[in-house]
Structure 1
Amino acid sequence: MGEVKLIATTQSLFCARIQWALKLKGVEYEFIEEDLRNKSPLLLESNPVYKKVPVLLHNGKSFPESLIILEYIDEVWKHNPLLPQDPSERALARFWAKFSDEKVIFGAFGACRTEGEQQEKAKEAALESLAFLEKQLEGKKFFGGEELGYLDLVVGWIPLWLGVMEEIGGIKLLEEERFPLLHEWSQNFHQIPLIKECLPPRDNLLSYFQASISYHRSLAAKKP
Structure 2
Amino acid sequence: MKRRELLVALAAGALAEGSTGLAQASQAKFTGQIDLPKPNLKGTMSLEEAIEKRRSVRRFAPKPLPVEAIGQLLWAGQGITSSDGKRAAPAAGALYALELYVVTATEVMHYLPDGHRAETRATHDLRPELRALAVNQASVEAAPALLVVAADPSRLSARYGGRANLYADLEVGHATQNMLLQVVSLGLVAVTVGAVDGAPAARKLGLPHAQTVVYLVPVGFPV
Q: TM-score, normalised by structure 2?
A: 0.26
Whose helix proportion is higher, 1 or 2?
1
Per chain length, whose mean CA-contact separation is higher, i.e. which structure has more relative contact order (CA < 8 Å, sep 6+)? Answer: 2
Whose strand proportion is higher, 1 or 2?
2
